Amino acid sequence: MVAHQTIFSGEANNSLFNKVVTFNSCPADYIHESWFKHIQYGELISSLRDSHDAQPFLSEHLLAILSLQKEWDYAFELSEKRIALDDSEILIRLPLYIGIVLNETVIRKAIKRSDRLALEATLGKEAYLFAVKKAQFLFRHRQDNAQASIDWDHIDRFKNFIILSGLQVMAVVYGEMPKAFCERLYIKLPVAWKKHLSKKVGLSLSKQDCLNLLTKTYKEVNRQWHHLLS
């Protein structure tokens, strides 16, 4: 199935056009390493993905095993879809930062120096500074979530909860988009995240809230966002 094609015109759109073509036709360029344990010949694909000559064959195989040979999506007028064209490294940071915005009150309540250092070590320095300095100003509507508490003996669980919160927001934004788009987005991210991104969840946020949160957070995660969203 071929989705409505966007007309790309002008020099400014060349980069976007190239990204859309890569997204559709070259999954070997961007598939996350975690997927190779779950797909046929994954180890071989992983070892050959840096080979320029092998790239077309690897992508053809990936499209086949994902049942995407006839599933294409070239409709990228929406900003939220353009975000998915960014590098995997950027997209992987998004759920963490979205979840931080939703749970920043809990993070800022940590007063003891040892607690603050533990959060910084767990979230990463940049993410922690975002939580205490910027997140509260980014989005007015926050979830009233009683589960958002920190077990200081198992602080990694709080990070996982934050990431899950972010994935749920992304699931609301992307959940009803075409298979051709969603399946390609999934493989840019850790394989364990697919079950959360493809699952319908009940949030206190509307779809528009989730969209606004995604877009605003993306602009914080990637300060060079203009090349995709302008």
pLDDT tens per residue across span 130-171: 999 999 999 876 555 545 679 999 999 999 999 999 999 999
pLDDT band at 9 (very low <50, low <70, confident <90, very high): very low
Residue 135: the pLDDT is 94
pLDDT: which is higher, 140 or 184: 184
Specify the long-range contacts of residues 140-143, CB closer than 8 Å, at least 24 apart. 141/205, 141/209, 142/101, 142/102, 142/104, 142/105, 143/102, 143/103, 143/203, 143/204, 143/205
Q: How far apart are CA 96 and CA 99, in angstroms?
A: 5
Residue 20: the pLDDT is 97
- Residue 202 pLDDT > 80: no
The half-sphere exposure of 81 on its side-chain side, counting CA atoms within 13 A, is: 23
pLDDT band at 227 (very low <50, low <70, confident <90, very high): confident
Residue 39: the pLDDT is 92
| Mean pLDDT, range 199-217, rounded to an integer | 91
pLDDT: which is higher, 148 or 204: 204
Q: How far apart are CA 49 and CA 184, in angstroms?
A: 17
Which residue, among 24, 72, 90, 25, has the nearest Cα to 227 in the 3D structure?
90
pLDDT band at 7 (very low <50, low <70, confident <90, very high): very low
- Residue 185 pLDDT > 70: yes
- The predicted model scores a pTM of 0.90
* Tokens 């959940």 sit on residue: 175
Buried b (16+ CB within 10 A) or exposed e, 16-25: beebbeebbe
Tokens for 123? 């979230």
Residue 142: the pLDDT is 56
- Which has the minimum average pLDDT: 31-35, 150-154, 213-217? 150-154
- Residue 68 pLDDT > 60: yes
